[in-house]
Amino acid sequence: MPERDRHVPTDPLAVSARLRSLPSRLLGRAAMHADRISNTHLAAAGATRWQYATLVTLRDAGPASQATLSERTGIHRSDMVAVLGGLAEAGQVERAPDPDDRRRNIVTLTPAGRSRLRALDHLVDQTQQELLAPLTPAERAELRRLLQQIDDHHSTR
């Protein structure tokens, strides 16, 4: 006796083609994977993405006030407080009042922070490899280029 199609089994994998091709949705999902991967790896080393971004910025652009660090990293200044708190507590960063403007803190990378950063650099590179595993080198470069165009376009305005 042939199966009566009660419920019309409705394959759960039948995702809408429109939904699957929406760029905003694809971006969200890819970013979700990226977040999960990099958070996992960084957490295993006892660090966070914000801490890494702050350390890199201090190394590449030099000591700066918290407000300047906020602009450079894109981390909100009210979140920067805790980030620097953690880094200072770990001795990777020094927060000293600016003698020329006592509203400011001048944040400096310590030797400990610098060596810590080298380890994290290595780790972050691995996460990028894992994230971009299915892409060829040329495709990775193209993806970077396209994403940078989108970010620039919506950031500068």
**Residue 16 CB: number of other CB atoms within 10 A?**
8
Instruction: Name the token pair of 15.
Output: 């995702």
DSSP 20: H
Q: Is 154 a residue that touches DNA (CB under 7 A)?
A: no
User: Alpha-carbon distance 82 to 51, whole Å?
Assistant: 10
Binding partner of 92, given a copy of itself, DNA, none, CB within 5-8 angstroms per partner class: none
**DSSP-assigned states of every residue in 81-114:** HHHHHHHHHTTSEEEEE-TT-TT-EEEEE-HHHH
- Report what 66 binds from a copy of itself, DNA, none; CB cut-off 5-8 Å by kind: DNA
Residues 47-86 that bind DNA (CB under 7 A): 48-50, 65-68, 70, 74-82, 84-85
Nearer to DNA, 76 or 139 (CB): 76
Query: Does residue 101 belong to the site contacting DNA (CB under 7 A)?
Result: yes
108 interface partner picked from a copy of itself, DNA, none, CB below 5 to 8 A per type: none
User: In this structure, what token pair is assigned to residue 147?
Assistant: 């994403």
Per CB under 7 A, residues contacting DNA are 28-29, 32, 35-36, 39, 43, 48-50, 65-68, 70, 74-82, 84-85, 95, 101-105
